[in-house]
Structure 1
Amino acid sequence: MTATACTGSSGREYAVPKAACGVQVGSELLSPLLPDGEKLTQRDYKFGPTQPRCELKVNGNLVVHFSGDVVPASTDVIAVNERGMRGLGHSEAANIGQDSRIADRGALAVDSCTYGGKQQKFVAEIELKHQAIQDVSERRDALRSLLKAYLPAVMTYVGCS
């Protein structure tokens, strides 16, 4: 009985946000990928106006990392990121944007856009640092749904139309 009292209550005690560091994704899409815990915090940082980054932490532990980048139109994004996607587990093509990959612990999508008056590409990535969903197929489905919402929202956020 004492051991149970020391472990604390299980469940989610924080509200799931509708946005990841200002990028509207919808709490219903984010919720399945977040673990139980007491407190969720967001850290928004950028390497420049075309490179948004966002970390979601639960109880101080990094659980989801979002990133985006405007890159030259000639960049073969999938080839450049192939090694990283392999590290996320069994990457396979998905039907999001111009090209995309869904892996066991992350997702990547690319789409063309105009930024600064030039034809460019935008790359959106989501990496799970904690697997709230243990079933890999369900986790991939949740990642696919979140990436489908995140890609156009983050493109709008940086002004890549």
Structure 2
Amino acid sequence: MGSKLLSPLLPDGEKLTQRDYNFGPTQPRCELKVDGNLVVHFSGDVVPASTDVIAVNERGMRGLGRPAAANIGQDARIADRGALAVDRCTYGGKQQKFVADIELKQQATQDVSERRDALRSLLKAYLPAAMKNMGCN
């Protein structure tokens, strides 16, 4: 993902740092910080194919502000301060689902419509890249 997709979501600052880590074997995470302050958190999860990802995450998405359906992957939601998408994935020889989640910890712009558009564009790029990185087919 290029800076063109990220820059509308990042506040002004001197130094951008990235920390990648794994919460578990099928749970990659990434944090972006500007001047030492956490601004964006990315997560990915491989879950069983039977999981209703949108229902499981409904409360959390409501907490991010007015989630609305988006045409990304199998299903997606874009909220005021975050985005979530799910798509089918073959992982470890089994049909699974991959969940991509983006949460803004600070807002670069107060324009909610602009922020939601930027989240939508970022999620469209992040979902397939994260799936490929995880080894999902």
The TM tier, using the shorter chain, reads over 0.9
Select 1:89's aligned residue among 48, 65, 69. 65
Aligned residue in 1 for 2:7:
31
Question: Which among 61, 73, 77 is matched to residue 49 of structure 2?
Answer: 73
Q: What one-letter code is carried by the residue in structure 2 that aligns with 1:121?
A: K
Q: Following TM superposition, by how much is the alpha carbon of 1:26 offset from its aligned partner in structure 2, in angstroms?
A: 1.6
> Amino acid of the residue matched to residue 14 of structure 2?
E
1:45 counterpart (14, 18, 21): 21
Which of the numbers 77, 96, 99 marks the counterpart of 1:123? 99
SS in structure 2 of the partner of residue 152 of structure 1: helix
Once superposed, what is the RMSD of the aligned Cα atoms?
A: 0.6
Aligned residue in 1 for 2:85: 109
Q: Deviations over 1:48-88 (max 9, x none)?
A: 23111000000111000000000000000000000000000
- Under a length normalisation based on structure 1, what TM-score does the superposition of the two structures give? 0.84
- 1:156 is aligned to 132
The structure with the largest strand share of the pair is 2
The one-letter code sitting in structure 2 at the alignment partner of 1:150 is: Y
Quote how far apart the aligned CAs of 1:31 are.
Answer: 1.1
Cα distance in 2, alignment partners of residues 90 and 58 from structure 1: 26
- Gapped regions of structure 2 (runs ≥ 5): none
Cα distance in 2 for partners of 1:130, 1:116 equals 36
Aligned residue-pair number: 137
Larger radius of gyration: 1
Query: In the alignment, what sits opposite 2:34?
Result: 58
C-alpha separation in 1, matches of 2:38 and 2:23: 19
Whichever residue aligns with residue 50 of structure 2, its letter is: S
Shift of 1:99: 0.2
Q: Could you tell me whether the CA contact under 8 Å between 1:49 and 1:158 is conserved in 2?
A: no
Structure 1's unaligned 5+ residue stretches are 1-24
Residue 13 of structure 1 corresponds to which residue in structure 2? Answer: none
4+ residue runs over 2 A deviation? none
Amino acid at match of 1:28: K
Q: TM-score, normalised by structure 2?
A: 0.98
